[in-house]
Amino acid sequence: MLDASARELDPYQAGCPTRRILDLIGGRWTVLIVGALGEGTARFSELLRRVDGISQKMLTQTLRSMERDGLVIRTVTAEVPVKVEYTLSEAGRTLTEPLRALERWSIEHFSGVAASRSEYESRIAG
Amino acid sequence: MLDASARELDPYQAGCPTRRILDLIGGRWTVLIVGALGEGTARFSELLRRVDGISQKMLTQTLRSMERDGLVIRTVTAEVPVKVEYTLSEAGRTLTEPLRALERWSIEHFSGVAASRSEYESRIAG
């Protein structure tokens, strides 16, 4: 059920604030981090390993945006060294399925996309 | 069913080419254009109106990428003036549902995300 404000939101309208949300949740790193946290709570260093190739800076920034937007909960435990863990919030968990669908689509359709690209390039060149 | 090459693809690995596909399909404009074309074939000018605020240049570029990747079919009819229409390909149609799910998520969770943002900002400032 949509509330009153949600009924007025329309991402097809310029200036609709949902467009910024679309940018965030559809981004490559959010897709992969939500997927990784869908497997369970993780520490920063575990996410850094799981999402191979992400820089520390990009992981920090993306996690901070996701925390700010209420997708991720950051828990700090006073140990030595301090333990910092990340968990999907309830809202974040509702994103798991749609984003996994994108992940699956990318894998399943990769060879078709690659074939289409090379066919297109040779058509343009020819 | 995944074919042999698809089984080796893993977007969690750096350098996996599916990451570029994720970037494309999760992008704000692709989400909205696939949604618009999910309602049926459209001309360039119709898409420009439907996806309010997109520039001509961005629409041209995004449609070209989508055509190259095999998501969209471009049909030119020899009329005066020339009629150019865009339709989702079979692969493009398989994206409609997952991308509509993202669109719906953005609308349904907007007020929660906005509330979380302002709570976060005041916590940081405080």
Residue for token pair 């704000």: B28
**B41 in contact with chain A, both atoms CB, cutoff 8 A:** no
Share of chain A above pLDDT 90, in %: 74
∠ CA B46-B50-B51, nearest 5°, is 120
Is the Cβ pair A26, B27 closer than 8 Å?
A: yes
Q: What is the ipTM of this complex?
A: 0.85
List chain A domain ranges: 4-125
Nearest residue in chain A measured CA to CA from B19: A28
Cβ-in-10-Å burial (0-12, 13-18, 19+) of B102 comes to buried
Instruction: Give the residues across from A72 on adjacent strands.
Output: A88
Would you state the pLDDT for residue B89? 97
- What is the spatial distance between Cα B108 and Cα A6, in angstroms, rounded to a whole number? 6
Å between B1 CA and nearest CA of chain A? 8
Across the interface, do A12 and B111 touch by the CB < 8 Å criterion? no
Phi-psi sector, B15: left (phi>0), alpha (psi -120 to 50), beta: left
Confidence check: pLDDT of A18 > 70: yes
Of all residues in chain A, the one with the smallest CA distance to B3 is A108
Residue A10 DSSP one-character state: -
* Chain A residues whose beta carbon lies within 8 Å of the beta carbon of residue B12: 32, 35-36, 50-52
Beta carbons of A21 and B106 less than 8 Å apart: yes
For residue A47, give how far its alpha carbon lies from the nearest alpha carbon of chain B (Å): 10
The dihedrals phi and psi of A13, each to the nearest 5 degrees, come to: -90, 130
B108: CB partners within 8 A, 6+ apart: A2, A6
In chain A, what residues touch B5 (CB-CB under 8 Å)?
Answer: 110-111
B33 touching A (Cβ < 8 Å): no
- Partnered with residue A88 across adjacent β-strands are A72
Tell me if chain B has a CB within 8 Å of the CB of A21. Answer: yes
Quote the mean pLDDT of chain B.
Answer: 90
CA distances from residue A45 to A50, A86, B85, B88 in whole angstroms, order as listed: 9, 11, 49, 41
Partners of B87 in the β-ladder: B73
Q: What's the rounded Cα separation, in Å, for the pair B19 and A70?
A: 25
pLDDT tens-digit map of A75-123:
999 988 889 999 999 999 999 999 999 989 999 999 999 999 999 989 8
Provide the terminal-to-terminal Cα distance of chain A, rounded to the nearest Å. 53
- The answer to whether residue B4 scores a pLDDT higher than 80 is no
Q: At which residue do the structure tokens 């078709």 appear?
A: A112
CA dihedral sign of residues A110, A115, A120, A125: positive
* Strand (E) or helix (H) holding B92: helix B90-108
Q: What is the pLDDT of residue A124?
A: 82
CB contact under 8 A, B22 and A31: yes
The arrangement of strands across the sheet holding B72-77 comes to: B42-43, B83-88, B72-77
The answer to whether residue A39 neighbours chain B at the CB level (below 8 Å) is no
Domain spanning A4-125 has what CATH number? 1.10.10.10
Could you identify the residue written with the tokens 């969770």?
Answer: B109
DSSP string for residues in B36-75: HHTT--EEHHHHHHHSTT--HHHHHHHHHHHHHTTSEEEE
